[in-house]
Amino acid sequence: MSVLSGNLAMRVGLEEILGGDPGLSVLRGGREASDQPAGPGADVLLLASLPGMDWHALAPEAAVLLLTDQVDEARSLAASRSQAWGVLPLDASEEEILAAVHALGE
């Protein structure tokens, strides 16, 4: 699984939450969103704070979990994906995020 975010603090925090779960393997990336791993190694993408980024093409085979408060982003995800996907608000709890990632990874 991979976390993509244009916000370094958010990405690091999400990687820490997910990395603490022994059932998950998190690909960790660089400081910039463009440096972050995605693609063949990621079966689940957790996307957060990526305004304007074309994330549809990042990992077409991966299930996607979008953290957003933007209704348009959620609609765009629903319209563009045939694979599993989910949407949570930016203030989702650690338990909600972990449950959603596990559900998408199954």
Q: Which residues of 32-70 are buried (b: 16+ CB within 10 A; e: fewer)?
A: ebeebbbeeebebbbbbbbeeeebeebbeebbbbbbbee
pTM above 0.85, yes or no: no
pLDDT at site 102: 94
List the strands of the sheet with 44-48, edge to edge: 2-5, 44-48, 63-67, 85-88
Higher pLDDT, 39 or 92: 92
Give the pLDDT band of residue 54 (cuts 50, 70, 90): low
pLDDT (average), residues 19-25? 92
Q: Which helix (H) or strand (E) holds 35?
A: none
Which of 33-37, 60-64, 73-77, 96-100 is predicted with the least confidence, judged by mean pLDDT?
33-37
